[in-house]
């Protein structure tokens, strides 16, 4: 293995098979992407943009109509008559608020309905449908900033309609609120004043009835409080009476024998309430109520003073409780003691207690009935007063409405002659708002944008590779653009064109030689996405360039279907006569070696030596010559075991050799295997500095995939005009088979692409771009050795083979 091979380090690949020599390529510039889509279509884009912009501008201009606005002015004087003998007017208070109210009246339904009913408006826009009212409101605008003037505006596409609307609204407002004074207003004011008098009298009568029911010493507002207190007192007395009834019922069921066994006693003539309370529960209850009432009175006097309503109510409460205590004592004495002056009669204490309970029950019932009657009277008063109050509130509300109406009429009457129209609306001469120009501009811009977008869509749907930039966009698995090749005419009459083509090829060859990851003796495969991309021409040109640089170069035709390299080089190798005799079995390998050695020493033809040595007859030699004239050797023979050196021939160029297909055809493609091709590559690497394998398209041939996998590097030739998707699929295919893609070459590039890419250094800037070969587009790929090859050879000869 050579020194270069010993230092060979395989190219690292990522998990998905992509080459991982450097960082991932950054996202393409959007502007460059747009430029690539428009490349070659700029004229079409400009023409379509002009046409679409004109159409869009016209459509935008015609889609809009100008609107006209008419203006009317209403003046409201800020002074009102003062009524003073001096005759001086006074400034109206809250004048701005009044004017704003008039502004609301102008926009109100009453004024708008009256305006739309006028003949002037009906003649232009008949009908009073809700839609027409809404449209009228949308066009009407009433403005007030400050001062005495209100501006009435109406906007419409018809200037006559705008002027008529302002006039109708102004006159309708003046008819309702303005300078015209009629007898209807006077009669209405008199009627309202009479109604106000009647309502005031009715309200006064209701208030008098309320005062009469409540009493002259009682505030009607306190009746609710008195009724609530009386209701509480009635409830308390009812509870006490019910308790007395329960005790009385329990006493009536006592044992009669116990009453007979008791000793007669003489009851005292008088007993105090406290003494009675010792044996009587009813008296104890009354004394407890007396204490509570006295305590409440004391607290009310200390808090409110002697004349407060709460103190008076507390005093009434104490008096009622004291009266209950006195009545209870009298009833108890009547039942439990003798009358004055009569002899004491022995009485049973139980009977005395029973009689006292009966007296207490009657007294409590009487107190309850009195309290209930009082509560009922207060309730009836309260119901009557509430009914009268409701009537009074209704009358008061009506009276307020009447007073407001009177004030409004009086206010309006004070402004009669002070509201006037300065202008009833003028006919607008110029549009108020004209969006036609803006809409035309927007339509033109939109049309131009649509045209450009259409061209972009065409470019997107027809993504063909036409520039170096397009090629770079497709290099998602490659990190190098090797170079470009121009489309070279067949005669190469112009020496400068030949120099340009040669320079492009030498540029590509130099980049391949500078590849740091490959061994010193290198094997390259040249393939393309599709037939006709110029890969064979590139292979020949690169072979000549490598040979011109001093590298011993071998071209191998691996395209068994196309056979372009063998056809263009026109180098057919016939089998040697000794090999024919050996394959025919006429002589042995040993006899062939002896004959070859003897022929070399004697410098005689091999056939004569074989006849002389007796290894073959003259007829055998004639037969072998006939077979030799009809046979060719090449790749198929090497696959069959023939030595590579015997199947390789020169090309007439120093250092450039070729292994043609020989007799191989498309039906022999199945005989090519990775192992056999690996053996051929190993033999070629050992004998040559550079080996170039010309294969078929990577997407359409078996030998291209095997050759790419066995090579140190793959050069992808892409012709101008090929679909970009096809390029991407080709690169994906190469990575899938484990190939290392050295870079891409753009064939048949445009003049500017060749000048910008291949002549980027200042030393060759003197080349006239006008003399560069024209882009060939998708023209014929049949560029023979006499074009690019001759250009390379000529340039190498001039440079001394450097």
Rounded CA separation 178/640 (Å): 121
Q: How many helices (H) and strands (E) does the chain have?
A: 31, 14
Q: Is 475 in the same domain as 329?
A: no
Q: Is 91 in the same domain as 113?
A: yes
pLDDT above 50 (res 64):
yes
Which of 642 and 297 is assigned the larger pLDDT? Answer: 297
Cβ neighbourhood burial of 485 (10 Å; 0-12, 13-18, 19+): buried
CB 545, CB 506: distance < 8 Å: yes
Average pLDDT over residues 501-523: 85
- Taking the CA atoms of 473, 476, 482 and 484 in sequence, report the sign of the dihedral they define: negative
The torsion defined by the Cα of 695, 697, 702 and 705, in degrees rounded to 10, comes to: 80
Strands 690-694 and 481-486: unpaired
Examine residue 113 and state whether it is found in any structural domain, yes or no: yes
Examine residue 648 and state whether it is found in any structural domain, yes or no: yes
- 152-166, 473-487, 609-623: least confidently modelled range: 473-487
pLDDT above 50 (res 717):
yes
The encoded tokens of residue 265 equal 């006693």
Q: Is 357 in the same domain as 386?
A: yes
Per-residue pLDDT reduced to its tens digit, 530-584: 888 888 888 888 999 999 889 999 998 888 777 677 777 655 566 666 666 776 6
CB atoms within 10 A of CB 50: 14
CB 534, CB 501: distance < 8 Å: no
Examine residue 687 and state whether it is found in any structural domain, yes or no: yes
Which of 422 and 568 is assigned the larger pLDDT? Answer: 422
pTM of the model: 0.46
Examine residue 98 and state whether it is found in any structural domain, yes or no: yes
Rounded CA separation 714/517 (Å): 13
Residues 6 or more apart whose CB falls under 8 angstroms from that of 484 comprise: 468, 504, 745, 746, 747, 749, 753, 754, 757, 758
Q: Is 315 in the same domain as 239?
A: yes
Q: How many structural domains comprise the chain?
A: 5
Examine residue 325 and state whether it is found in any structural domain, yes or no: yes
Rounded CA separation 37/452 (Å): 10
Q: Is 657 in the same domain as 607?
A: no
Q: Is 238 in the same domain as 169?
A: no
| Highest mean pLDDT pick, 357-371, 755-769, 787-801 | 357-371
pLDDT value of residue 265: 40
Per-residue pLDDT reduced to its tens digit, 300-343: 888 877 777 778 888 888 888 888 888 888 877 776 654 444 43
Per-residue pLDDT reduced to its tens digit, 173-192: 988 876 544 455 677 778 88
Q: Is 511 in the same domain as 627?
A: no
> Domain span at residue 474?
468-573+632-798
Examine residue 430 and state whether it is found in any structural domain, yes or no: no
CA within 13 Å, CB half, 368: 17
pLDDT value of residue 782: 34
Q: Is 552 in the same domain as 643?
A: yes
Examine residue 214 and state whether it is found in any structural domain, yes or no: no
Q: For 724-782, what is the HEC assignment?
A: HHHHHHHHHHHHHCCCCEEEEEEEEECHHHHHHHHCCCHHHCCCCHHHCCCCCCCCCCC
pLDDT value of residue 32: 67
Q: Is 52 in the same domain as 79?
A: no
Examine residue 213 and state whether it is found in any structural domain, yes or no: no
Q: Is 397 in the same domain as 263?
A: yes
Confidence band of 256 (pLDDT split at 50, 70, 90): very low
Rounded CA separation 615/592 (Å): 9
pLDDT value of residue 523: 93
Q: Is 783 in the same domain as 649?
A: yes
Rounded CA separation 758/508 (Å): 9
Confidence band of 353 (pLDDT split at 50, 70, 90): low
CA distances from 560 to 388, 638, 642, 693, 702 (A): 123, 14, 18, 12, 10
Q: Is 50 in the same domain as 143?
A: no
Query: Domain holding 93: CATH number?
Result: 3.30.70.1130
The torsion defined by the Cα of 196, 202, 208 and 214, in degrees rounded to 10, comes to: -120
**Rounded to 5 degrees, what are φ and ψ at 507?**
-60, -45
Question: Which residues are 486's β-sheet partners?
Answer: 749
Average pLDDT over residues 21-44: 65
Rounded CA separation 553/293 (Å): 138
pLDDT value of residue 350: 62
pLDDT above 60 (res 12):
no
The torsion defined by the Cα of 539, 542, 543 and 544, in degrees rounded to 10, comes to: 130
- 16-30, 463-477, 691-705: least confidently modelled range: 16-30
Question: Which residues are 464's β-sheet partners?
Answer: 723
């Amino acid at each position: 293995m050579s020194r270069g091979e010993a230092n060979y380090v395989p190219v690292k690949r990522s998990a998905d098979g992509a080459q991982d020599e450097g960082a991932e390529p950054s996202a393409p510039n959007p502007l460059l992407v747009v430029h690539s889509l428009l490349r070659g279509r700029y004229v079409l884009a400009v023409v379509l943009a002009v046409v679409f912009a004109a159409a869009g501008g016209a459509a935008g201009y015609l889609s809009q109509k100008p609107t006209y606005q008419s203006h009317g002015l209403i003046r409201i004087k800020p002074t009102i008559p003062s009524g003073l003998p001096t005759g001086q007017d006074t400034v109206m208070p809250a004048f701005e608020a009044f004017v704003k109210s008039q502004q609301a009246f102008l926009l109100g339904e009453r004024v708008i309905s009256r305006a739309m009913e006028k003949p002037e408006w009906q003649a232009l826009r008949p009908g009073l449908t809700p839609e027409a009212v809404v449209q009228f409101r949308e066009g009407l605008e009433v403005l007030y900033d400050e001062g005495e003037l209100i501006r009435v505006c109406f906007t419409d596409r018809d200037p006559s309609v705008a002027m008529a609307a302002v006039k109708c609204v102004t006159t309708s407002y003046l008819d309702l609120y303005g300078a015209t004074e009629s007898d209807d207003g006077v009669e209405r004011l008199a009627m309202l004043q009479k109604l106000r008098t009647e309502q005031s009298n009715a309200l006064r009568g209701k208030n008098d009835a309320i005062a009469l029911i409540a009493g002259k010493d009682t505030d009607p507002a306190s009746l609710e409080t008195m009724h609530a207190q009386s209701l509480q007192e009635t409830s308390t007395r009812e509870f006490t009476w019910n308790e007395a009834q329960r005790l009385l019922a329990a006493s009536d069921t006592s044992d009669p024998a116990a009453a007979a066994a008791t000793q007669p006693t003489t009851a005292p003539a008088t007993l105090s309430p406290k003494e009675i309370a010792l044996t009587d529960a009813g008296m104890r209850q009354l004394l407890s109520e007396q204490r509570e009432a006295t305590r409440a009175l004391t607290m009310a006097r200390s808090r409110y003073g002697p004349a407060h309503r709460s103190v008076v109510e507390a005093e009434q409460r104490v008096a009622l409780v004291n009266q209950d205590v006195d009545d209870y004592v009298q009833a108890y004495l009547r039942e439990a003691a003798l009358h004055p002056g009569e002899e004491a009669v022995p009485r049973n204490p139980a009977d005395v207690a029973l009689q006292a309970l009966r007296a207490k029950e009657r007294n409590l019932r009487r107190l309850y009935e009195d309290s209930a009657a009082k509560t009922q009277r207060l309730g009836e008063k309260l119901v009557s007063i509430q009914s009268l109050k409701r009537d009074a509130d209704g009358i008061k509300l009506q009276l307020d409405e009447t007073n407001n109406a009177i004030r409004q009429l009086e206010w309006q009457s004070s402004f009669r002659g002070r509201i006037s129209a300065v202008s009833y609306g003028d006919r607008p001469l110029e549009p108020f708002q004209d969006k036609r120009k803006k809409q035309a501009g927007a339509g033109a811009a939109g049309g131009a944008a649509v045209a450009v977008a259409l061209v972009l869509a065409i470019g997107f749907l027809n993504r063909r590779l036409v520039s170096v930039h397009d090629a770079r966009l497709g290099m998602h698995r490659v990190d190098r653009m090797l170079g470009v090749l121009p489309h070279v005419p067949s005669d190469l009459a112009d020496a400068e064109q030949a120099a340009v083509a040669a320079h492009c090829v030498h540029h590509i060859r130099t980049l391949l030689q500078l590849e740091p990851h490959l061994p010193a003796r290198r094997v390259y495969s040249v393939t393309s996405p599709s037939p006709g991309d110029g890969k064979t021409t590139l292979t020949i040109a690169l072979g000549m360039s490598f040979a011109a640089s001093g590298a011993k170069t071998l071209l191998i035709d691996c395209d068994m279907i196309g056979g372009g390299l063998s056809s263009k080089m026109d180098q057919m190798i016939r089998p040697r006569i000794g090999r024919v005799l050996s394959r025919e079995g006429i002589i042995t390998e040993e006899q062939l070696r002896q004959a070859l050695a003897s022929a070399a020493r004697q410098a005689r033809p091999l056939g004569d030596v074989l006849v002389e040595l007796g290894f073959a007859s003259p007829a055998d030699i004639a037969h072998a010559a006939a077979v030799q004239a009809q046979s060719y050797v090449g790749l198929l023979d090497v696959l069959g075991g023939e030595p590579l050196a015997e199947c390789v021939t020169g090309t007439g160029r120093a250092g450039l050799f070729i292994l043609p297909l020989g007799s191989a055809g498309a039906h022999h493609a199945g005989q090519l295997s990775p192992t056999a091709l690996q053996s051929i590559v190993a033999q070629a690497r050992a004998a040559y500095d550079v080996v170039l394998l010309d294969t078929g398209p990577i997407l359409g041939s078996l030998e291209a995939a095997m050759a790419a996998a066995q090579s140190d590097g793959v050069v992808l030739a892409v012709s101008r005009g090929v679909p970009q998707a096809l390029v991407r699929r080709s690169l994906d295919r190469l990575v899938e088979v484990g190939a290392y893609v050295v870079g891409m070459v753009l064939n048949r590039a445009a003049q500017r692409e060749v000048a910008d890419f291949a002549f980027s250094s200042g030393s060759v800037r003197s080349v006239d771009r006008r003399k560069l070969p024209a882009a060939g587009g998708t023209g014929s790929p049949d560029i023979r050795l006499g074009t690019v090859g001759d250009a390379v050879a000529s340039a190498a000869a001039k440079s001394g083979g450097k």
